A and B are shown apart, each in its own frame.
Chain A
């Protein structure tokens, strides 16, 4: 590692850069508490960057911090709020706690309740910069109860979404029993073995391969003075195909939620190429919540991440959201897409048909698992389901939750061959 930054003295005046360093570390620390991965490495980058720019200029410092700490567009809102307060030297308080315990709580030390307060860094206008003084300690500020009330509430809205406690759902959490968890591990194991594969463009040496391996042949010929007696061959390797789950978690699907979630966890745990999304009225990516070795914790996280169990469904809109934000980037390309839904859709069936078709065009195979194909009034299929049917490569009907639990066997048989698709006439595009 290189030595810490030396700040140009003409920029800051005496003493050396200590307060800047403290402030930089402070920023990283607060970012971490809001769930961003501000590693020590990023801190280091930020400090070196500060040595290169004029630290009195807000924009330069902002972009330097942005380059060091932000790793995706989704992190930007949080970063913006934290940075704004950091730059103005204001304290940053978690609203939910302030509201619960009253403002007294905020006066407790930062590591305890009351949230983080920020060290001061920059100051606007002619106000003496805290960097100039001999005040080497980061200053902490106690927020005033009045003042920028309206604005801060709005900001807190963004932040609150990042605190794990806050997103925990109000409903009772389903605890899985030990034997269920064991069954789940078993299922994960089965999926792992059964996961469909695709040919990779990578090759590896294989005696029965069909491509001449010049490199290997040459190596082999060294033993015989450059005479290539034995030819080596390579063959393409196999990689797991991406499994993409899109699961309905609306009201009509609630009774399957338990086994559904468990199956998703099993699939995500089984292959690194699995992605899980759930939807009711909105789409939520669940892969990260489901990741990790601790089964119970993963299931809890996932439960908490699902915004609206038992809400209404707009399947078309949810799939549209998927196509727009993920599909366009290639999430579904060549994947086995598995939609689990009963097809009860409150939205426009035409939108649903358009989006399912779009999804099918990207996917290697589109499978629709419907745990409840029959409706109460003996209609053959829900309207949404009927709209989607022409674009589904494989339709799997189940009459009880076990249909989902039998997933592993189903997945094993998928993706071997490209499905034969007839050209289906498109639904008329909706032009207003």
Chain B
């Protein structure tokens, strides 16, 4: 069952999966489960949109079914396809089973989600929907509003228990109004410093608190610098891990300089931060006040 009695309980269950949701996210997740509405989450890359679905699946003990969208994805990759080799063999062997029946059907993620065990409805993650095209979006409408699909050869297939659907989008294009209307919406922001430290502590318990706090403070300051591409939480974690692997107990400028590629993925950004700004940011992360710390803007 999708049994969470309160928002607080929902939050705790997610925290149990080391996913620290804020009040807003916990509320919409709770509502998505209770109202059985798909949840559309958007946000900067690396704020944990995909992680949310994983945590939700783990917290409800449900299987996670993932559909990664891409340009040109269609029904046969998302919903079902026929098992042609078997059909051909059947034809040649002169078998009597009808060719277009469940027996010869290959289930793709969407159908899989509809067919999941009613006792534990699946969590279906439709990742980066904005990468698919309008046609695919239109196709999803029936699925998302009634949790059913129509297969011409077989008829309507309806879910015994509707899956929990999480849709993510990077906003490379506007999703259709009709689709948004069927969903609950949430925009995930970068976490504030305290939350990011908490997330890092939960995810990387083997790394010292001092190092974690330093790295998070550094990244937090960095996000104010208006870089071309600000690092997400995932990159913060990678960076902290990098220090740990290199045997550092705390941040130092030279290691930071060398491992900057774990954090920043744009050459312009790296060149801008490398050297003096790194030192200044470390000082700031350590709480040392210094005038003109990062030195640029």
**Chain A residues proximal to chain B, CB less than 8 Å:** 37, 39, 41-42, 45, 48-49, 52-53, 59-60, 62-64, 66-68, 70-73, 76, 200-202, 214-215, 218, 221-222, 225-226, 228, 239, 272, 323-324, 328-331, 333, 354, 358, 429-432
Closest Cβ of chain B to A60, distance in Å, is: 6
Check if B271 is an interface residue, CB within 8 A of chain A.
Answer: yes
Check if B258 is an interface residue, CB within 8 A of chain A.
Answer: no
Closest Cβ of chain B to A39, distance in Å, is: 6
**A59-B229 CB under 8 A given contacts A45-B37, A73-B187:** no
Closest Cβ of chain B to A200, distance in Å, is: 6
Pairwise interchain contact A221-B181, C-beta atoms closer than 8 A? no
Pairwise interchain contact B87-A432, C-beta atoms closer than 8 A? no
Chain-A contact segment, one of B20-28, B242-250, B283-291: B20-28
Check if B171 is an interface residue, CB within 8 A of chain A.
Answer: yes
Pairwise interchain contact B181-A39, C-beta atoms closer than 8 A? yes
User: Inside 8 A of A200's CB, which chain B residues have their CB?
Assistant: 71-72, 133
29 interchain pairs, CB-CB under 8 A: A37-B177, A39-B181, A42-B181, A45-B184, A52-B35, A59-B23, A63-B28, A63-B31, A64-B27, A66-B24, A67-B31, A67-B184, A68-B184, A72-B187, A200-B72, A200-B133, A222-B91, A226-B88, A226-B91, A228-B88, A239-B133, A324-B228, A328-B229, A330-B170, A354-B268, A429-B268, A431-B296, A432-B296, A432-B297
Pairwise interchain contact A52-B184, C-beta atoms closer than 8 A? no
Closest Cβ of chain B to A23, distance in Å, is: 18
**A41-B170 CB under 8 A given contacts A59-B23, A431-B271:** no
Check if B172 is an interface residue, CB within 8 A of chain A.
Answer: yes
Specify which of B23, B27, B31, B88 is in contact with A218 (CB 8 Å cutoff).
B88
User: Inside 8 A of A226's CB, which chain B residues have their CB?
Assistant: 88, 91-92
Pairwise interchain contact B172-A202, C-beta atoms closer than 8 A? no
A216 to B133, CA, bound (A): 24
Check if B67 is an interface residue, CB within 8 A of chain A.
Answer: no
Check if B210 is an interface residue, CB within 8 A of chain A.
Answer: no
User: Inside 8 A of B139's CB, which chain A residues have their CB?
Assistant: none
Check if B143 is an interface residue, CB within 8 A of chain A.
Answer: no
Chain B interface residue count, CB cutoff 8 Å, equals 46
Closest Cβ of chain B to A356, distance in Å, is: 14
CB contacts between A and B, total, < 8 Å:
110
A2 to B73, CA, bound (A): 34
User: Inside 8 A of A354's CB, which chain B residues have their CB?
Assistant: 268
User: Inside 8 A of A331's CB, which chain B residues have their CB?
Assistant: 172-173
Nearest A residue to B33, CB-CB: A52
Pairwise interchain contact B297-A202, C-beta atoms closer than 8 A? no
User: Inside 8 A of B173's CB, which chain A residues have their CB?
Assistant: 331
A73 to B44, CA, bound (A): 11
Closest Cβ of chain A to B192, distance in Å, is: 16
Check if B223 is an interface residue, CB within 8 A of chain A.
Answer: no
Specify which of B34, B88, B172, B271 is in contact with A330 (CB 8 Å cutoff).
B172
A41 to B296, CA, bound (A): 48
Pairwise interchain contact A218-B7, C-beta atoms closer than 8 A? no
Closest Cβ of chain B to A427, distance in Å, is: 10
List residues 63-107 of chain B with CB under 8 A from any CB of chain A. 70-72, 74, 82, 84, 87-88, 91-92, 99
User: Inside 8 A of A431's CB, which chain B residues have their CB?
Assistant: 271-272, 296
A67 to B184, CA, bound (A): 5
Closest Cβ of chain A to B72, distance in Å, is: 3
A239 to B135, CA, bound (A): 12
Check if B295 is an interface residue, CB within 8 A of chain A.
Answer: yes
| Given A42-B181, A66-B28, A226-B88: 4 more A-B contacts, CB < 8 Å | A222-B99, A329-B170, A331-B172, A429-B268
Pairwise interchain contact A215-B181, C-beta atoms closer than 8 A? no
A37 to B177, CA, bound (A): 9
Pairwise interchain contact A201-B72, C-beta atoms closer than 8 A? yes
Closest Cβ of chain A to B70, distance in Å, is: 8
A70 to B23, CA, bound (A): 17
Specify which of A42, A53, A239 is in contact with B27 (CB 8 Å cutoff).
A53
User: Inside 8 A of B203's CB, which chain A residues have their CB?
Assistant: none
Closest Cβ of chain B to A214, distance in Å, is: 4
Pairwise interchain contact A63-B24, C-beta atoms closer than 8 A? yes
Interface centre among B39, B74, B185 (most CB of A within 10 A): B185
Check if B186 is an interface residue, CB within 8 A of chain A.
Answer: yes
A228 to B88, CA, bound (A): 9
User: Inside 8 A of A202's CB, which chain B residues have their CB?
Assistant: 72, 74, 133
User: Inside 8 A of A45's CB, which chain B residues have their CB?
Assistant: 35, 37, 184
Pairwise interchain contact A67-B91, C-beta atoms closer than 8 A? no
User: Inside 8 A of A68's CB, which chain B residues have their CB?
Assistant: 184-185
Nearest B residue to A70, CB-CB: B185
Pairwise interchain contact A333-B27, C-beta atoms closer than 8 A? no
Nearest B residue to A214, CB-CB: B84
A218 to B85, CA, bound (A): 9
A222 to B171, CA, bound (A): 45
User: Inside 8 A of B84's CB, which chain A residues have their CB?
Assistant: 214-215, 218
Closest Cβ of chain B to A48, distance in Å, is: 5
User: Inside 8 A of B184's CB, which chain A residues have their CB?
Assistant: 45, 67-68
Specify which of B28, B91, B99, B185 is in contact with A71 (CB 8 Å cutoff).
B185
User: Inside 8 A of B181's CB, which chain A residues have their CB?
Assistant: 39, 41-42
User: Inside 8 A of B34's CB, which chain A residues have their CB?
Assistant: 52
List residues 132-148 of chain B with CB under 8 A from any CB of chain A. 133-134
A52 to B29, CA, bound (A): 12
